[in-house]
């Protein structure tokens, strides 16, 4: 798994991305397939394992996936000039289903690489249904309406901001984050880094078979 840019050949598979969106990913995730389909599927399935499973033997695989994801992020060579900003999970911190996996990854990166910077720059007003669990997916504009910009967290932020998430599908959350951040920090460079992108061409081929 190596960092790869979303280019003109793959950008169209992510509906909300435009030509000026610079997004990178480490692996390709194939939806509707299990752990054994690929190394990326295995990583993503374990990474997204629900926190309600904490305490069970299987939860060790989520912990391992968090560690593996941190290892991937620390392969990025120029993190000393970047500030990582995690996309908020669907649930707020007070919700019993709140999953801090993205923050856990960035905390590990900070422990293992001096100078690594991340900020919880965006939080949510209210918990939302997980995108993969609803057929009526919100637009970037609707998502952004639920976002709160943390001005205190922006103090001393670096000029190059990385929006960080696990899986890029349509790109709605990325666009909501980018729009919200740019509203408050118009002169900063903003890119996206994802553990994986959903390989939509694989979905379309599956639908034809």
- Do residues 174 and 87 lie in contact, with contact meaning Cβ atoms separated by under 8 Å? yes
- Do residues 131 and 137 lie in contact, with contact meaning Cβ atoms separated by under 8 Å? yes
| Segments making up each domain of the chain, as ranges | 4-208
Tokens 């959350």 belong to 173
pLDDT, one tens digit for every residue, the chain (209 residues): 899 999 999 999 999 999 999 999 999 999 888 888 899 999 999 999 999 999 999 999 999 999 999 999 999 999 999 999 999 999 999 999 999 999 999 999 999 998 999 999 999 999 988 765 555 678 999 999 999 999 999 999 999 999 999 999 999 999 999 999 999 999 999 999 999 999 865 443 333 33
């Amino acid at each position: 798994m190596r960092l790869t840019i979303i280019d003109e050949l793959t950008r169209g598979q992510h509906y909300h991305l435009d030509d000026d969106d610079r997004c990178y990913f480490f692996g390709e995730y194939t939806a509707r397939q299990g752990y054994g389909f690929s190394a990326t599927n295995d990583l993503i399935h374990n990474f997204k394992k629900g926190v309600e499973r904490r305490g069970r033997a299987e939860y060790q695989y989520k912990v391992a996936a968090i560690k593996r994801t941190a290892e991937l992020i620390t392969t990025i060579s120029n993190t000393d000039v970047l500030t990582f900003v995690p996309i908020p999970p669907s649930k707020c911190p007070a919700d019993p289903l709140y999953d801090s996996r993205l923050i856990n990854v960035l905390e590990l990166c900070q422990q293992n690489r001096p100078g690594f910077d991340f900020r919880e720059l965006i939080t949510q007003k209210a918990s939302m249904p997980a995108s993969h669990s609803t057929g009526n997916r919100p637009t970037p504009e609707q998502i952004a309406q639920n976002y709160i910009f943390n001005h205190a967290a922006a103090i001393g932020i670096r000029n190059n901001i990385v929006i960080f998430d696990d899986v890029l599908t349509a790109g709605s959350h990325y666009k909501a984050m980018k729009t919200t951040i740019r509203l408050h920090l118009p002169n900063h460079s903003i890119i996206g880094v994802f553990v994986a992108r959903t390989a939509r061409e694989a979905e379309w081929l599956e639908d034809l078979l």
